[in-house]
Amino acid sequence: MHELSLCRAIAGVVQPHAAGRRVDVVHVRVGALRQVVPESLEFCWSMVRDHMDMPTARLDLELVPAEVHCGVCGRRSEITSRWSVCCPHCHSGDVEVMCGNEFLVTSVDIT
């Protein structure tokens, strides 16, 4: 379960910015190609936040769909498969991933 190590990394990013203040919400952008299970990430966060002295902090996940630009047909399309990154229109593998690889703490609500 790599979600636990991801939560530790999130906490490592948040703690220096919190500087002892209460963390209310951690906003995280997660791309579909990162193979993160949102429910597992939230479960692991509940364990990590207690250990890292942020007991009230919750995660606000922004789930970003995967999109590719096809070098053959020129279309930009959302892809739904995590296992195949091909153009859904012409089935070419000549694609550039435009979004869906994100994993980023975008902001933190601190009081």
For 98, the token pair is 């435009």
Feature table: binding site for Ni(2+): 2
For 75, the token pair is 């279309």
Feature table: binding site: 2, 70, 73, 87, 90
Q: How far apart are CA 43 and CA 38, in angstroms?
A: 9
Residue type, 44: C
Backbone angles phi, psi at 52, to 5 degrees: -95, 15
Feature table: binding site for Zn(2+): 70, 73, 87, 90
Residues 19, 59 contacting (CB under 8 angstroms):
no
